[in-house]
Amino acid sequence: MGGSLHGVADAIELSRAAVRNMKQNLFGAFVYNTAAIPVAAGVLYPVMGLLLNPMIAGAAMAFSSVTVVTNANRLRGWRAPVRG
C-alpha cells in the first residue's frame, strides 16, 4: 500500500475487481454446466442419437477450467487508477 492513504482506495478497487471476476467465473461455469451436463448424461440420445464421447467431455471440462483461470489471470494486469 505504501505510505499514502490512496493505497486503501486502491485495495478496495482491486477487491471490487476480484469480486466482479469471481461473479463472471461463477456465471460462466453455471451456464457451461447447465448446458454440458445434460448432454453428457445422454439427454440428446433419444432425439438425435447423440452421445458425448467421454474423452471429448473431459476435454470440454478442461477447456472450461482453462477459461476460468485465464479470466482470473486478467487481474494480474489490474492497475490502480491515476489520482490527480
Instruction: List the chain domain ranges.
Output: 6-74
Residues 52/40, Cβ–Cβ less than 8 Å: yes
Asked if 67 and 33 touch (Cβ cutoff 8 Å), the reply is: no
pTM of the model: 0.76
pLDDT digit string, tens, across residues 20-73: 999 999 999 899 888 888 888 888 889 988 888 889 888 988 998 999 999 999
